[in-house]
Amino acid sequence: MAENIKWYGNKVFTLATEANVRAMKKAAYLVEKYVKQHFTLEGSGMTIKGEWTPGASRKKTKSNKRHFAAAPGKPPAIDIGTLRASITSEVEQHGLSIDGRVGPDVEKIAEKAPVGTDVNYGLYLEMGTPNMAPRPFLRPAIKKTRRKVVKIFKKANS
């Protein structure tokens, strides 16, 4: 006598995908939060007088503004907080792929200040330039949160 077997493959797949999307959102937010909390409040590196953007040549300007840079290897020092405020996380699902992203959201910044404000210097700070040692903030966050991220996904898939 043959038995009927019910197949719930699509339902199981949908539930697993939803669980992984939730886990990715949680993990991406964890990394975002870590990045924002670990920017240096006051630089301990060199003092820069005048307007200056990392990666640009050091030009003398008429500005008396001073920026106290973070020491090489340390997260960037907060000046006015544009880069830190621009750090966001987002998750997108494309078929079987779930992508999580953490970093500066240039489009979001541009919406708030359509004059052309962006945070392209985040890359220069993260990776360094020929004239400046890196002040990484994303890679250390991923490294420091790795164990918690793994736990998030293990819990979602158990």
pLDDT digits 0-9 by tens, 99-142: 998 988 756 655 655 444 457 788 889 999 999 899 999 999 99
| Model pLDDT, residue 47 | 59
| Residue 107 burial (10 A CB sphere; 0-12, 13-18, 19+) | exposed
Q: Check whether 11 has a pLDDT greater than 50.
A: yes
In a domain, 149, yes or no: yes
In a domain, 56, yes or no: yes
In a domain, 4, yes or no: no
Identify which of 15-19, 50-54, 64-68 has the greatest average pLDDT.
Answer: 15-19
| Residue 19 burial (10 A CB sphere; 0-12, 13-18, 19+) | middle
- Tell me which H or E stretch contains 148: helix 138-156
Residue 90: both structure tokens together:
């987002």
Q: Check whether 157 has a pLDDT greater than 80.
A: yes
Taking residues 28-48, report their average pLDDT. Answer: 80
In a domain, 3, yes or no: no
Q: At what angle do helices 138-156 and 9-37 cross, to 10 degrees?
A: 150
| Model pLDDT, residue 3 | 80
Q: Check whether 147 has a pLDDT greater than 50.
A: yes
Looking at per-residue pLDDT, the higher value among 42 and 110 belongs to 42
Nearest residue to 105 (alpha-carbon basis) of 124, 126, 120: 120
Q: Check whether 44 has a pLDDT greater than 70.
A: no
- The lowest-confidence range among 29-33, 49-53, 67-71, 124-128 is 49-53
Identify the domain containing residue 128 by its residue range.
10-156
| Overall number of domains in the chain | 1
* Residues 155 and 147 sit within 8 Å (Cβ to Cβ): no
| Model pLDDT, residue 1 | 61
Taking residues 17-43, report their average pLDDT. Answer: 90
In a domain, 141, yes or no: yes
8 by DSSP, 3-state: which?
A: coil
pLDDT 10s digits, 61-88: 445 566 678 888 888 888 788 888 888 8
